[in-house]
């Protein structure tokens, strides 16, 4: 079998390389085995990653058992929850593409034959998948698992509902300082990704549905022995993929991406998947656009009720049967694709057991007839905007209100906390897109504050930035084109009437063409907020949100 690693282990000219490999402790026999990289995002900074050391060891054992040689290398990560609401959030989306670049550099420079990607959180998982698709080598994703729920008396706690939204509840006077302190101490009881179907867990589910993780990986809990067994099996399995030359692009096909989107819509996942799935597909040479999300969502029922818009947590999904059980409900609609497990999609779906018909409903008893995401077009979003419709109440599916415009998240947040936002308003936050941000910051702090203040049923929010997977309510993000490039959102003024029509799939500014033309002629782009470092370079190269905010070479 010819291996990529032969470039550094075979031939007279490779004496220096072999000498350096022997210095790492390898034997001569090891040089004939597949070299498998373990891209690990272990860090002490992120709860979803602090428990990865035992998983690294489990993967190593699996690789050795499978006949390969393992090499752990580090990949950094950012915790969106910690970076939220301040300048740190500028760096979150930027890190996705940096992670892809770092993995490309390490794997290519060292001629690795296969890759196990140990990941868990929001931008790290898609960044790793982007790299694997770009490199087109055999690879498997091991997501490190969701956190268990916290407890406050008999009440289950989760990060978003019981900390971010609690800020607004405290400001409103619904809870006191003592209860707030208990919530912040107990909402996150230990290791794992945040408990609801926020972006981290959404991308874990997408990875499994795409065929890039072993069955049950996405929902198996961070604290579980099953997670270690999955890590071990993933190490074994990647060596087999190398020997059979099953590379990532053979798995990440157009049909596999459609399967992943369908599962995402059935779950009601984060709107961030509308950025990440197209970016991963782009690296795999597959075109995925916003219209595909809307088409699949329109024909896919929403069959789970997971936080933030619903009742259950990832631990409930796990005990109900995980992603295989969701696929079982959708099996008649899924394409039959190969996966890293060696079993095809249909085989996994048919063999799955559904343990709770309420957590994972049948299509006939779905929570909603359509999937989790809707894409809105109109004179305010000619290239599209995204909303998590499964997290919007029925009475807010159509809403018309007066615009209150802010040119930054901080300005909007200050107004919300100072009680300057009232019923019937549409909060507009602009110049927060991929270029304008730069980095397209998540807006969980203002959206959660609105809910906590009791305005989630009477105030809407639109932005050219994006939302956390934890956002609920009538919040429209990814408005494209963004304000920084002169998109219509840059022309909105205080008091303008805006109509959001989710069933009609429209987002319109109720201002005449003549007025908008005059405003456009008078508009001038503001100076960039940041003019140095990686954020400045990113702003010059990043594409629009409707294209996945991928980087170009220009």
Query: Residues annotated as binding site for Mg(2+)?
Result: 80, 122-123, 442
- CB contact set of 422 (below 8 Å; sequence gap of 6+): 459
Name the strands in the sheet holding 114-119, side by side, starting at the edge strand that comes first in the sequence. 69-74, 35-40, 114-119, 139-143
Decide: helix, strand or coil at residue 387: strand
340 to each of 118, 256, 293, 384, how far by Cα in Å?
Answer: 15, 12, 24, 34
317 to each of 143, 146, 210, 485, 512, how far by Cα in Å?
Answer: 15, 11, 18, 41, 48
DSSP designation for 14: G
Q: To which residue do tokens 């991928």 refer? A: 550
Catalytic residue from among 41, 468, 480, 544: 468
CB-based burial label for 129 (10 Å; 0-12, 13-18, 19+)? buried
Cα separation, 424 vs 460, in Å, equals 8
Cα separation, 554 vs 542, in Å, equals 9
Phi, psi of 348 (to 5 degrees): -65, -45
Residue 434 structure tokens: 């991929």
Q: Is the peptide bond before 308 cis (omega within 30 degrees of 0)?
A: yes
Cα separation, 280 vs 276, in Å, equals 6
Cα separation, 405 vs 414, in Å, equals 13
Residue 401 structure tokens: 């209100």
Residue 362 structure tokens: 């049948």
Q: What does the H/E/C string look like for 136-200?
A: CCCEEEEECCECCCEEECCEEECHHHHHHHHHHHHHHCCCCHHHHHHHHHHCCCCCCECCCCCHH
Give kind and range of the element (H or E) at residue 539.
helix 533-541
For the question of residue 149 being annotated catalytic, the response is no
Q: For residue 41, how many other CB atoms are within 10 A of its CB?
A: 24
The binding site consists of 80, 122-123, 442
CB-based burial label for 108 (10 Å; 0-12, 13-18, 19+)? middle
Residues with a catalytic annotation lie at: 468
């Amino acid at each position: 079998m010819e291996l990529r690693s032969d470039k550094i282990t075979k031939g007279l000219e490779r004496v220096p390389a072999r000498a350096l490999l022997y210095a790492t402790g390898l034997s001569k026999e090891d040089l004939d085995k597949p070299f498998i990289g373990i891209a690990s995002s272990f860090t002490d900074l992120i709860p979803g990653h602090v428990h990865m050391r035992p998983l690294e060891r489990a993967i190593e054992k699996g690789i050795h058992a499978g006949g390969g040689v393992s090499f752990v290398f580090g990949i950094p990560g950012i915790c969106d929850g910690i970076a939220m609401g301040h300048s740190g959030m500028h760096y979150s989306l930027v890190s996705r593409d940096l992670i892809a670049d770092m993995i490309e550099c390490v794997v290519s420079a060292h001629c690795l034959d296969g890759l196990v990607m140990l990941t868990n959180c929001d931008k790290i998982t898609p960044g790793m998948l982007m790299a694997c698709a770009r490199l087109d080598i055999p690879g498997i994703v091991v997501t490190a698992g969701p956190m268990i729920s916290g407890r406050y008396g008999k009440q289950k706690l989760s990060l978003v509902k019981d900390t971010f939204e609690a800020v607004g509840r405290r400001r409103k006077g619904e809870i006191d300082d003592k209860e707030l302190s208990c919530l912040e101490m107990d909402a996150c009881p230990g290791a794992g990704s945040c408990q609801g179907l926020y972006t981290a867990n959404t991308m874990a589910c997408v990875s499994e549905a795409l065929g890039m993780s072993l069955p049950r990986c996405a929902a198996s809990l961070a604290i579980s022995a099953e997670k270690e067994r999955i890590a071990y099996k993933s190490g074994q399995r990647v060596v087999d993929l190398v020997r059979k030359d099953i590379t990532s692009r053979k798995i990440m096909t157009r049909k596999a991406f459609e399967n992943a989107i369908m599962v995402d819509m059935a779950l009601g996942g984060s709107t961030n998947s509308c950025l990440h799935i197209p970016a991963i597909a782009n690296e795999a040479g597959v075109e995925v656009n916003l219209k595909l999300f809307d088409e699949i969502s329109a024909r896919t029922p929403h069959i789970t009720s997971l936080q933030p818009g619903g009742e259950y947590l990832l631990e409930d999904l796990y005990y109900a049967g995980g992603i295989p059980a969701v696929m079982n409900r959708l099996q008649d609609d899924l394409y039959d694709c190969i996966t890293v497990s060696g079993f095809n999609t249909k085989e996994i779906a048919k063999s799955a057991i559904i343990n709770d018909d309420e957590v994972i409903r049948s299509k006939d008893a779905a929570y909603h007839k359509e999937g989790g995401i809707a894409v809105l077009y109109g004179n305010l979003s000619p290239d599209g905007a995204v909303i998590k419709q499964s997290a919007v109440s029925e009475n807010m599916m159509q809403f018309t209100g007066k615009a209150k415009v802010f040119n930054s998240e901080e300005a909007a947040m200050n107004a919300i906390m100072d009680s300057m936002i009232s019923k019937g308003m549409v909060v507009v936050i602009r110049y927060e897109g991929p270029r304008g941000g730069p980095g397209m910051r998540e807006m969980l702090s203002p959206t959660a504050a609105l809910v906590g203040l009791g305005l989630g049923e009477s105030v809407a929010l639109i932005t050219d930035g994006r939302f956390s997977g934890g956002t609920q309510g009538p919040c429209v993000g990814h408005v494209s084109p963004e304000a920084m490039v002169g998109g219509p959102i840059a022309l909105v003024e205080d008091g303008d009437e805006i109509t959001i029509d989710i069933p009609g799939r429209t987002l319109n500014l109720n201002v005449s063409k003549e007025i908008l033309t005059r405003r456009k002629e008078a508009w001038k782009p503001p100076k960039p907020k940041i003019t140095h470092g990686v954020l400045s370079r990113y702003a010059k190269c990043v594409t629009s949100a409707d294209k996945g905010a991928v980087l170009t070479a220009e």
